[in-house]
Amino acid sequence: MKDFTDARVALGRSGTSLPTRDLLAFTQAHAAARDAVHEPADLGALRRTLEALGEPVLDARSLAPDRPTYLRRPDLGRTLHPDSAAHLRAQRSPGPRPPDVAVIIADGLSAAALTQAPPLLELLLPALRGAGLSTAPITLASQARVALGDGVALALGARLALILIGERPGLSSPDSLGAYLTYQPQPHTPDSKRNCVSNIRPAGLAARPAAWKLTHLITQALKRELSGVQLKDDSPELPAHFAPHALNR
C-alpha cells in the first residue's frame, strides 16, 4: 500500500512510539505545510515567467492588507480592493465582444502551489483558444480567496472566471493547486455555482489531464450557460493527441 500513496500508513512502531525516521519525516512535512501558508508568493517571478510566454499580465489585491489579517479575516480575502477594481475596469478590451474567460492566479493558502500554474497554462490557454474562446489578460491576485475571482471577472467584463489558487496544504501536499471555474460570476456567488479541479501537482493530477478536464468543463459551461452542481465532469478519457501548440515564447 505504501507504494501507491503518500499517506502515512504502515509506519511501524519503535516501542510505544513511531520510528525516529517517520517522526522526523512528519515534523518536516508539518514545517513545509506551515511555510507554504506563511511564505509570501513570489508574484514578480511568476509575472516574468508568464510574460516570457507572451501573456499580458495584470495585478490585483484583496482588502486584506497583510498575511496575518488574511488568515484571520477570510471575508477580506474574498473582496477585490476598490483600487484594483478600477484598474481592471480600465484594462477592459475595447472590442464589441467581452472575453470568454478571465484567468486569475491567486496565492490562496499555498505560495508553493503557484509553481504549478505556468505548466498548466502552457497547455490550457492554447486549448481554449483552439476551441474558439477568448481570454482576458491573466490577473495575479495577492491575499486572495476563491471568491475574489468573481470580482476580477466582473471588472474585466468576462463571461467566466477561472481562478487557479494555492490549496490548503496537507502534510504530504504543500504544493497543491486548485482550479475553480464560475460561469457569469456575481457578487456573493454561492459555492454551489462553482466547479473545482483539485490537487494539480506532479504527485497528484498532472498538468496535462488537468488542462484536458478544464478545457472540457469551460467549453461546456459557456455552451450550456451554467456551472456548479448542474455541470458534471463527464469529460472523455484523455486522448493521446491532446498536446496543444505551445504558447509563443
Distance CA 121, CA 30 (A): 29
What does DSSP assign to residue 201? Answer: S
Nearest Cα neighbor of 153 from 193, 190, 118, 184 is 184
3-state helix, strand, coil in the chain (%, to 5): 40, 20, 40
122 labelled binding-site residue: no
DSSP state letter for 173: B
Residue 237 counted as an annotated binding residue? no
225 is in an annotated binding site: no
Of 180, 100, 195, nearest to 144 (Cα)? 180
Nearest Cα residue to 200 out of 122, 116, 141, 125: 116
C-alpha cell at position 105: 492566479
Longest Cα–Cα distance of the chain, Å, equals: 72
Binding residues for adenosylcob(III)alamin: 146, 167, 196
Q: Which residues are annotated as a binding site?
A: 146, 167, 196
